[in-house]
Amino acid sequence: MAVAGCINFDIISQQRYTNLLVYQISREINLYLRCMPSITSNESRIRLTAFFVLLLIIAYMITGIGLIPVFLLLDFTLRGFGLGAYSPLAYISGLLVAALKLPLKPIYMPPKRFAARIGFLFCLAIVVAHYTHLSTIILSAIIALFAALESIVGFCAGCYVYNAYARLRSR
């Protein structure tokens, strides 16, 4: 029983416990959210990344240097499987977006991740074909075409396939 003018330590300790609990829960939620892959990204950054892919695949088509598709395979792997923060091309694109002060255009990330997985498969096929001395011109031209569509026009063919599949699956 509390006496007037006296401090009730039970109430204070309950408030401290509640504050500590709320603080701990908010820290856990923030940690969880930081570990989750981002659901949105910047379209300007993605289009610049596609432009770099276009430049690299054209350089490969001209020179035939086998390390270029290996590098692209690594980059598509990182971007397609949730490690886009470690992608060299995405990193350079992010620096350029900031330096050029390009506009922030949020875009839904899962279709882009799906498109990067398709790019991964194409790059894997190019690497295998290159090192088994098969022609890579058609596969390289396909990647160049889709990278040009993404970087110049803003059309993501992999995203279109992803969205069509999602609509079919929801029926």
For 78-129, write each residue's pLDDT tens digit.
Answer: 999 989 889 999 999 999 999 999 888 888 889 999 999 999 999 999 999 9
What number is the average pLDDT over the span 18-29? 67
pLDDT at 29 over 70: no
Identify the three-state secondary structure at position 40.
strand
Structure tokens at 84: 């886009």
pLDDT at 18 over 50: yes
Q: Quote the pLDDT of residue 105.
A: 87
Q: Are 112 and 163 in contact (CB under 8 A)?
A: no
Q: Are 136 and 130 in contact (CB under 8 A)?
A: yes
Exposed / middle / buried, residue 36 (Cβ in 10 Å: 0-12, 13-18, 19+): exposed
| Predicted TM-score of the model (pTM) | 0.75
- Residue closest to 150 by CA, chosen among 140, 159, 161: 159
Distance CA 161, CA 120 (A): 16
Structure tokens at 102: 């390009």
